[in-house]
Structure 1
Amino acid sequence: MFPPLLLMALRFDVASLIMIGYVVLQSEVWWPRSRGDVLTIAAGGVLWTVIGNGVWYIGQDLTTSVFSAMMSSLVPVLTAGFSWILLPSERLRPLSIAGLGIGFVGVMVMLVPSGEITFAESLLGKAILVGGAGSISLSSVLIRYVDTSFSSSVQTAWSAALGAVLLHVLSPLLGETWSGEVPLMAGVAVAYLGILSTVVAYLLYFSLLQRRPSFEVTLMMYLAPVVAAIFGWLLFSEPVTPSMVGGFLLVVGGFALMKRQDIRAELARFGVIG
């Protein structure tokens, strides 16, 4: 099998070739024309692709898939926090700040369930995952902060391409080696990650963003830990500990407190409340 960074590089090789071909055929503006365009590609390529996805896989190798998925639930909370700092129009009110704090408490419960910090490989993996979640969140906010002529699909395609190149460079620098053999299942895994988990998933994501409120789309991120917990337990016998569940619920609760007005509006729209 491939080492983590090389696997991610190959994943984004496949995805970027398909997405760039798609945007060239579908978009009139597909080539970087301004400083803002370049900055969005850099933010997406470095923060989102390399750190948020590539380095994330290193952290996942040091812990479990269940914990990795639960860390993804931190992304909406951190995104709101970075928006509060960088986007003046999205300042948080006191209750929202409290929700942000509750979310971080939940993360600490999952990171250090015993309350004692022990510098082990698993703790390093958890810390890397937190950093990856922060990188994805910061990338999302910076892309919104920068003025660009790109559509989201064009920006995603170029970010994936830049990230693939950087991951190919970073892989040997960090000591990763590869025999050159490509077992059948390894090739299937790369194709699956590149086509279904990247191209198809991102196209569906952006399509949903155009059709549904961003709040509803964000909530889908909280399905990942549930699905990962079930399949991690069924396939790999990975434990789901009380600290994981408790920390996850605190993160979700913090997000709900931060987005209470959106939740109230959605409930009213469906007639749940008056």
Structure 2
Amino acid sequence: MSRRRTDIALTALAPTVWGTTYLVTSELLPPDRPLWSGALRALPAGLLLLALTRRRPHGSWWWRAALLGALNIGAFFPLLFLAAYRLPGGTAAVLGAAQPLLVAGLTVLVLRDRPHRLALLAALAAPLGVALVVLRPDAGTDPLGVAAGLAGTAAMATGLVLTRRWGRPAGISTLAATSWQLTAGGLLVTPVAVTVEGAPPAPDGPALLGYAWLGLVGTALAYVLWFRGAARLPLTQVSVLGALSPLTAAALGWIVLDQALSPTQLTGFALAVGAMVVAQLPARPAGQPARRQSAPRVSASGSAPAGSSAAAASGRVNRCAADGPAACDSPSIQRTSSAVQPSPRRPAISRTSRSPGRVSSS
């Protein structure tokens, strides 16, 4: 499996795991305590990752981590639960599935990067497929619930784009950066849970099992994979994968809870899954060959010309600034600053020689 396919598969695992939240919450957790469920998901997971990595923010990353934690966790969870209380689950899910459209717009405004046409088409088709799966004829349109659902979706979309824009500090792993966001978000949700729902619930055996699943797998692991994908893949393609969450929830309801699926819902499944597959196709204009990159000139003595290492290093800095810190992790990029030695069995590379270059997937 290629590296890109591995990145897509690992990123898709995050919303798939999030799709188990409804089943775990309804079957294992105490009823009517959604905010405490969110706080107990985020804060323990963040503190656990923080203890494992032992890396704290520094400089501007104190406020950046706090803002990202507020957008992705602290604001998203309460708004999500408010929408879920005031709207049928299907309506709330469709509002969440609109995230790819918001991400596409923010990507143009903030990152100055225009998504390719297939990704935009998928961003339109995925919410339609989710709507066919989860909407019911009696779906409500409570204005406050709709506003909360859209605000939560906008918060998560903004957090995703800013996560890509800022990347992470040099020498800081995805685990450490995720721990900062989860801890900050959990600290924001906890006082809201105390104010609205009172003291935390006393968990029994099944509740402990549910909290462990949501905290360790549904939050710690899932968010690490999600932010990893946000650093490596085009953001519109990443956000389209979020449709896997409501689709997984519907599939588990059919498999575990014996809920029926109509032909319309099955059609919606096929449409949403097809949109996600189309969104992951690499963007290369028809008839346009892959860009080629000139090989460095080599002198007759077999060493690279003076300044080639500095130029390569400068090029690496420029690429890192454009693509984010994850782009600097590639071994192929790290090797670009080394001198090129010609093979003893063939002449040195001429100034007209070229070698294939990497084609961006965005």
- TM-score of the two chains, using structure 2 as the length reference: 0.54
C-alpha distance in 2, partners of 1:248/1:39? 40
1:40 aligns with 2:64: yes
**Aligned to 2:56, what secondary structure does the other structure show?**
coil
The alpha-carbon deviation at position 68 of structure 1 amounts to 4.9
Does the 8 A contact of 1:41 with 1:159 survive in 2? yes
Conserved 8 A contact 2:178-2:227: no
In 2, Cα distance between equivalents of 1:98 and 1:207: 22
Tell me if the contact between 2:91 and 2:139 (Cα under 8 Å) persists in the aligned partners: no
Superposed, 1:12-91 pairs within 5 Å as 12-24=42-54, 30-35=55-60, 37-63=61-87, 68-88=92-112, 90-91=113-114
Cα distance in structure 2, aligned partners of 1:118 and 1:92: 33
CA apart distance, 1:158: 1.0
Instruction: Quote the residue 1:171 is aligned against.
Output: 193
Query: Which of the pair is proportionally richer in helix?
Result: 1
Q: Deviations over 1:56-89 (max 9, x none)?
A: 133234445555555543333321221112122x
Contact 2:103 2:157 (C-alpha < 8 Å) held by counterparts: yes
In structure 2, how many angstroms separate the alpha carbons of the residues matched to 1:124 and 1:244? 27
Select which of 142, 152, 156 maps to 1:132.
Answer: 152
Unaligned runs of 5+ in 1: 25-29, 266-274
Q: Aligned partners of 1:119 and 1:226: how far apart in 2? A: 21
Q: Which residue in 2 is equivalent to 1:185?
A: 206
- Structure 2 residues not aligned, in runs of 5+: 1-29, 287-362
Is the Cα–Cα contact under 8 Å of residues 107 and 114 in structure 2 kept in the other structure? Answer: yes
Aligned residues: 254
Paired amino acid for 2:64: T
Q: Distance in 2 between matches of 1:179 and 1:194?
A: 16
Alignment partner, residue 271 of structure 1: none
Letter in 2 for 1:184: G
1:6 aligns to 2:27 (yes or no) = no
Taking the aligned partners of 1:17 and 1:51, their CA distance within structure 2 comes to 19
Note the 1:223-262 alignment, pairs <5 A. Answer: 223-236=244-257, 262=283
Q: Distance in 2 between matches of 1:63 and 1:224?
A: 18
Matched residues, percent identical?
22
1:31 deviation in Å? 2.2
- Mean CA deviation greater in 99-108 or 226-235: 99-108
Larger displacement relative to structure 2 (45-54 or 123-132): 123-132
Whole-angstrom CA distance in 2 between matches of 1:262 and 1:225: 27
1:7-55 alpha-carbon deviations (Å, 9 max, x no partner): 111111220121101221xxxxx222222x1343123211100222343
1:156-204 deviation per Cα after TM superposition (whole angstroms, max 9, x unaligned)? 111111111111111233x323475222222222111111111222344
TM-score (norm 1): 0.69
RMSD, aligned α-carbons: 4.4
Contact 2:88 2:140 in 1 (8 A): no
Structure 2 contact 174–228 (Cα < 8 Å) conserved:
no
Looking at structure 1, the residues matched to 70 and 110 of structure 2 have their Cα atoms a distance apart, in angstroms, of: 19
In structure 2, how many angstroms separate the alpha carbons of the residues matched to 1:108 and 1:126?
A: 16
Higher RCO by CA contacts (8 Å cutoff, separation 6 or greater): 1
Aligned pair partner of 1:198 in 219, 233, 236: 219
Structure 1 residue aligned with 2:177: 155
